[in-house]
Structure 1
Amino acid sequence: MIGKRIMLLCLAPILFLGGCLNLLSNDSPQTENEDGVKDRPSDFYESVLTYTGDGYFLPYGGKAEKAEDQYKEEVIKATKDYIKKEYKTDIEVHNLVGNQGGYTVFFESKGRLHFYSTAIVPIDFREKRVKTESVWTLEGEVEKG
């Protein structure tokens, strides 16, 4: 009985450290692109500075996702006009993500004041119309950027 306990006490740290050693190894498959920057595998988190909204989805956005080609240009124009009017800033739109009532638009500012943010563009799917007068951003999000 005592022999089993001693063996268990000796074996437990070895098994524990054996599992942790895998975390310490730097064998992650990284490759260099043409700029000499190492690309991370796809299962790592994306940097906030380079994230453009790709791969992002919202619940109940299926209807908008299916109709993206139909509304894309008008949604982009409505977003650019709204940000230009409200914040006097030019932007570049990176991605449109369908939401329940329209699109969430990921964008990046151009010029000296540089930030990333999102805007929400509502769509009336019954009338098949972009509600350009109702574009909005989350309170304080653009200002924080």
Structure 2
Amino acid sequence: MPNKADEKKQAESSEYMPVQDYTGQGYSFDNGEETGKFANQHRKQIVEKVKQYFNKKYHLDITVHQIYGATDAAVVFVESKKDPKFHTSVIVGIDLENKKIGDVGAYEGSVEGAITTGLYVMAYEKEFQKLDAFCTAIAREYPVIGRTKEAVDHTASTGFTTPYYYTSTSDLIFPEAYHAFLHKESYQNIIHLINSTFAP
């Protein structure tokens, strides 16, 4: 009979594994092997650049969870430390030939959309609390397994994300609310602007 260590080893060597064991293993981007090595050797610099980018552009503190190599770049997965809560990713240029780390950027609207999902969840906090309670109850009663927190942290870039669901929206849907957030207006005003979007 195989023991637990053998089962774990077999799961790790397989391209398939139980979702409750998945923490982001095997997640990768095209042509990322060399840039990934370089990025991990210079992780401290990349983390600092990404933190400065979020602080300067969005006035946010973030946690860097994972860095993956890609073509001429590193893709950095992050999570906001405080409200609005969200996950997203940014791209850091890498010049392997000259061994240089370039600028930080993102796909158009991706970070803005992620922030907006966090604002949306804040505006409908009670409704999302009910949804979370429903997901937890269903998982207790039925064989429903969500993603691990590590898998979410290492692979999610869609905005507000939990082990059971994620939200997706755009700053274009709530432009006044996003503008108010960027200009450091009160969350009470931002929430009012989101709620008023759906007012009859």
With normalisation by structure 1, the TM-score equals 0.61
- Aligned pair count reads 99
**Structure (1/2) with the larger strand percentage:** 1
The counterpart of 1:94, out of the listed 57, 65, 88, is 65
- Of 31, 36, 47, the match for 1:60: 31
Aligned residues: percent identity? 33
Unaligned runs of 5+ in 1: 1-40
Q: Over aligned residues, Cα RMSD in angstroms?
A: 2.4
Q: Secondary structure at the match of 1:135?
A: strand
C-alpha separation in 1, matches of 2:23 and 2:55: 20
Question: Which one of the candidate residues 113, 116, 140 is aligned to 1:144?
Answer: 113
Deviations 1:44-83 (A, max 9, x none): 499xxxx975531001011112223321111111111111
Greater relative CO, 1 or 2 (CA 8 Å, sep 6+): 2
Q: Indicate yes or no: 2:101 matched with 1:126.
A: no
| Residue matched to 2:88 | 117
Q: Which runs of 5+ in 2 are unaligned?
A: 1-15, 115-200
Partners of 2:90 and 2:44 in 1: how far apart?
A: 15
Q: When the two structures are superposed, what TM-score results if normalisation uses the length of structure 2?
A: 0.45
Q: Which has the larger Rg? A: 1
More helix as a share of residues:
2
